[in-house]
Amino acid sequence: MNSGKVYLIGAGPGDPGLLTVKGRDCLALADVVIYDYLANPVLLGYARPETEQIYVGKSRGQHSVPQEEINQLLVDKAGAGLQVARLKGGDPYVFGRGGEEAAFLRQHQIPFEVVPGVTAGFAAAAYAGIPLTHRDTTTSLALLTGHERPERKLSSLDWQKLATGLGTLIFYMGMSNLKMICEQLIKHGRAADTPVAVIQWATLPRQRTLTAPLNKIAEQVAAAGMEPPAVIIIGEVVRYREELRWYDNLPLFGKRFLITRPRAQAATFVALLQAQGAETICIPTIEIATPEDWTPCDQSLARLGGYHGVILTSANGVEAFFGRMKHLGLDLRALAGVKIIAVGPKTAKEIEKYGLSPDLVPQNFRAEGVVEELLAAGVDGKRFLYPRTAIARELIPDSLTAAGAEVDAPIIYRTIATLEKRDMIRHLLESGELDAICFSSSSTFDNLQAMFGDELKTLQGGTKFFSIGPLTSGTIRKHGFEVALEPEQSTLDDLVGAMVDYYKEP
């Protein structure tokens, strides 16, 4: 039998940043990824595009694929010679049935490796501001499951020892039995006023933490409507939460934003927002496409050495420009003596990835800034290449041409509307689940407007519209909508900074 190998990978508790480096590397090598309900789907981005992805998730009362079938699936895929990444929430060997899967693989002589993950109990405590041990409080803790095999009852636990012999108790999967757990602990000697924390969706921006005494927590959890997935922490260490909480004190914690820019360009924006505690949903309203006809662009690139300067005004334009150069067999030598002009610092950083430092980055990060500084330096008799998007304004070519320059402005990429996630955006707007939609270009808003037409005004409800700069804001207002926020400088860093200021308590 031509056997592959199975990697039982702990995906961590939810925050994709808590995946281990080894787990990430195994995902990158996998031919197949088999993942669970509690494994953050963002992690699938570490796999190769051609990697097969199979969802076998389980949630309370719903089993997508029975465990026996998951076991057999692992054997079948690895037995076919494939490298299999089995992505499991938390740690595979902490209430994750990883031991059962490993034993089944061993029985069928399938090689496997276990990649530990950050278990939910430890992560939930850390993100809620609760030290599980503290030398002034307790030096012992226990990990327990509140949901055992159906034929076994929680009453079979040694409640006397749990109640009086251990400091901190961490219950996984105990929400449906929370009341009984509390009653048993109090009955067997645990103080009724022992502090308890219930942490739902730990390490994610939707995290909720509720604290109450042992004799009142079940009632308060029910009143708050808290449901699984959640971790229950019982012990005196919970009292440290108010002093040590940090995650839910981040400035954008609990806020949910829709990101409309293309997925490939959204990563930096998402990282900036998540660092401030925000939850982000990426649903692009545009896609990047190649020109319908490459001829004008290729003709311009063939005579690169004849230009005084190349003007690049977006990260997409930079990627398309250097990508097309490579396609035509051109390298950086073709740009010898040609000045590189970037519209702003973000575009400049993209250019630097290709080994070049821009000769000009205007103080005003807009096309107007490029025009102003070029005209100040003099453009009469000079020739410029301005590779652009199909919907770019004519400001740069018109202004420079009027001043005596010659400008070639071929289309190097297009933005096209995508309707793929229209229903998902509708649901988010109708349910009021969004605090704001962030627009990074006029086209991102134009295409959202095209999706819903006049109905967008009704759907918007209380959702705010945030704009990266004056051009995008002008487009939003042209359609009759209010712009709630616009940063002073048209950069993602400034937009996130403005969002933090916007939500500061007065």
Catalytic residues, which ones? 36, 58
Q: Can you say how many angstroms the Cα of residue 187 is from the centroid of all Cα atoms in its chain?
A: 44
Q: Strands 230-234 and 168-172: what pairing?
A: antiparallel
Q: Which of 253, 282, 37, 270 is closest to 127 using CA atoms?
A: 253
Please list the residues that pair with 230 across neighbouring strands. Answer: 200
Specify the 3-state DSSP secondary structure of 53. strand
Question: What tokens were used for 98?
Answer: 């990883």
Question: What tokens were used for 263?
Answer: 């997925």
Question: What tokens were used for 4?
Answer: 């592959």
- CA-based R_g, the chain, Å: 28
Q: Which residues contact 94 (CB under 8 A, 6 or more apart)?
A: 119, 121, 143, 172
DSSP 46: G
Specify the 3-state DSSP secondary structure of 464. strand
Please list the residues that pair with 208 across neighbouring strands. Answer: 200
Question: What tokens were used for 158?
Answer: 């040694």
DSSP 129: T
Please list the residues that pair with 195 across neighbouring strands. Answer: 213
Residues 36, 114: contact at Cβ < 8 Å?
Answer: no
